């Protein structure tokens, strides 16, 4: 498998702080290619053989703004079995419901645009329902929980110019940890 030509911007790029624009349909060929290349890249980053060969940091989600394209599109590739993935293409997402319960990732969240260790926890809703469009312009609702809920919220934040590091209390990085459940 050949590594797609994907250039992920580092957190220092100002475009990551912009609010991405709504997408209109139908999608052009180039946008569809970027969606597929991004998913291939994410899957290769999660397969040890490729991540070692190409020196990739494993990632499961990528927003178009991280590629310098401020459109409201993100993709997630979730490994469900060794080498088998569920692919999500999420366009113009809106969170339409969320749980009261808050969770955080015990080992800390990561981001392909943040190339450093970050101490602290990011409060996230344990379950969310998102309304969005797929690459064919079909409206769908999806309810995600636990790690997938974290991934969806993380990517939606990107579309709004927010990085996960912004959600960590600088003075008290583990603030309210006892009020949330670790995953």
Catalytic residues: 155
Residue written as tokens 């998913």?
39
Task: Count the Cβ atoms, other than its own, within 10 Å of residue 161.
Answer: 16
25-33 LR contacts (CB < 8 Å, sep 24+): 25/133, 25/136, 25/137, 26/136, 26/137, 27/135, 27/137, 31/71, 31/73, 32/135
CA distance 100 to 168: 19
What are the φ/ψ torsions at residue 122 (nearest 5 degrees)?
Answer: -115, 110
Q: Strand 181-182 relative to strand 102-104: parallel, antiparallel, unpaired?
A: parallel
Phi-psi bin for 153: left (phi > 0), alpha (psi -120 to 50), beta?
alpha
């Amino acid at each position: 498998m050949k590594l797609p030509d994907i250039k992920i911007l580092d957190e220092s790029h100002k475009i990551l702080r912009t609010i991405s624009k709504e997408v209109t349909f139908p999608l052009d060929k180039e946008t569809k290619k970027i969606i597929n290349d991004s998913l291939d890249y994410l899957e290769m980053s999660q397969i040890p053989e490729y991540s070692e060969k190409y020196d990739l940091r494993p990632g499961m989600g990528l927003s178009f703004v991280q590629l310098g394209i401020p459109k409201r599109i993100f993709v997630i590739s979730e490994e469900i079995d060794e080498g088998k993935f569920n692919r999500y293409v999420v366009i113009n997402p809106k969170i339409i419901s969320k749980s009261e319960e808050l969770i955080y990732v015990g080992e800390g969240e990561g981001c392909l645009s943040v190339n450093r260790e970050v101490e602290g926890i990011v409060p996230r809703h344990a379950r969310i329902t998102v309304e969005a469009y797929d690459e064919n312009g079909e409206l769908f609702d999806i309810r995600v929980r636990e790690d997938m809920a974290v991934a969806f919220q993380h990517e939606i934040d990107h579309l709004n110019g927010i990085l996960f590091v912004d959600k960590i209390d600088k003075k008290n990085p583990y603030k309210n940890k006892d009020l949330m459940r670790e995953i």
